[in-house]
């Protein structure tokens, strides 16, 4: 299975993103975190959702922004909006730059005027990749 089709169960996705499995389920059930087209939703009780690597990156990014002070709903929206656009089309308040220490997601959100954040996207991706190596895809 190549990396474009690999998926992980929800417990493994939560572990890789640095949140509890219960929190991941809550975020999905509340509509805060949306599944991507490459993900598989549960069809019945006892059947785990399956998440792509890209979705786990999005979840980890939203989690990092939330831990840095943004409300999780706003954090998830920012990550979704940013990751859904090519860099040239991203909103001005989101900037992914190749800085000396690697890519950064810079957030200057007008709806949260007291919040200015810098999130090390390279570190988030590296942490997710390291954790996913510990877990086998489905």
The DSSP code for 87 is G
Q: How far apart are CA 86 and CA 13, in angstroms?
A: 25
Cα-based angle 65, 119, 134 (whole degrees, multiple of 5) = 85
Determine the pLDDT at residue 117: 66
Q: Are 13 and 138 in contact (CB under 8 A)?
A: no
Kindly give the confidence (pLDDT) of every residue in the chain, 138 residues in length, as a single tens digit, with 9 standing for 90 and above.
455 589 999 999 999 999 999 999 999 999 999 999 899 998 788 888 999 999 999 999 999 888 887 889 988 988 887 776 655 444 434 443 333 444 555 555 566 555 556 677 778 889 999 999 999 999
Kindly report the pTM of this predicted structure: 0.78
- Residue 99: alpha-carbon gap to chain centroid: 21
Determine the pLDDT at residue 101: 44
What residue spans of 1-138 are helical by DSSP H? 10-17, 21-29, 53-67, 72-83, 121-133
Determine the pLDDT at residue 95: 40
Q: Would you state the structure tokens that stand for residue 123, as one six-digit string?
A: 């570190």
Domains and CATH numbers, the chain: 7-133 (1.10.1660.10)
Q: Would you state the structure tokens that stand for residue 60, as one six-digit string?
A: 């980890």
- Residue 97: alpha-carbon gap to chain centroid: 18
Determine the pLDDT at residue 10: 96
Determine the pLDDT at residue 67: 87
Q: Are 117 and 73 in contact (CB under 8 A)?
A: no
Determine the pLDDT at residue 12: 97
Determine the pLDDT at residue 112: 58
């Amino acid at each position: 299975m190549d990396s474009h089709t690999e998926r992980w169960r929800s417990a493994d996705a939560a572990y890789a993103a640095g949140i509890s499995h219960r929190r991941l389920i809550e975020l999905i059930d509340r509509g805060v975190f949306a599944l991507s087209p490459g993900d598989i939703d549960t069809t019945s009780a006892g059947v785990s959702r399956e998440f792509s690597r890209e979705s786990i990156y999005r979840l980890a990014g939203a989690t990092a922004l939330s831990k840095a002070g943004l409300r999780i709903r706003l954090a998830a929206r920012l990550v979704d909006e940013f990751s859904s656009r090519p860099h040239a089309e991203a909103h001005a308040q989101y900037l992914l730059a190749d800085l000396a220490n690697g890519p950064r997601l810079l957030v200057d959100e007008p709806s949260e005027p007291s919040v200015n954040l810098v999130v090390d996207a390279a570190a988030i991706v590296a942490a997710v990749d390291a954790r996913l190596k510990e877990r086998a895809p489905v």
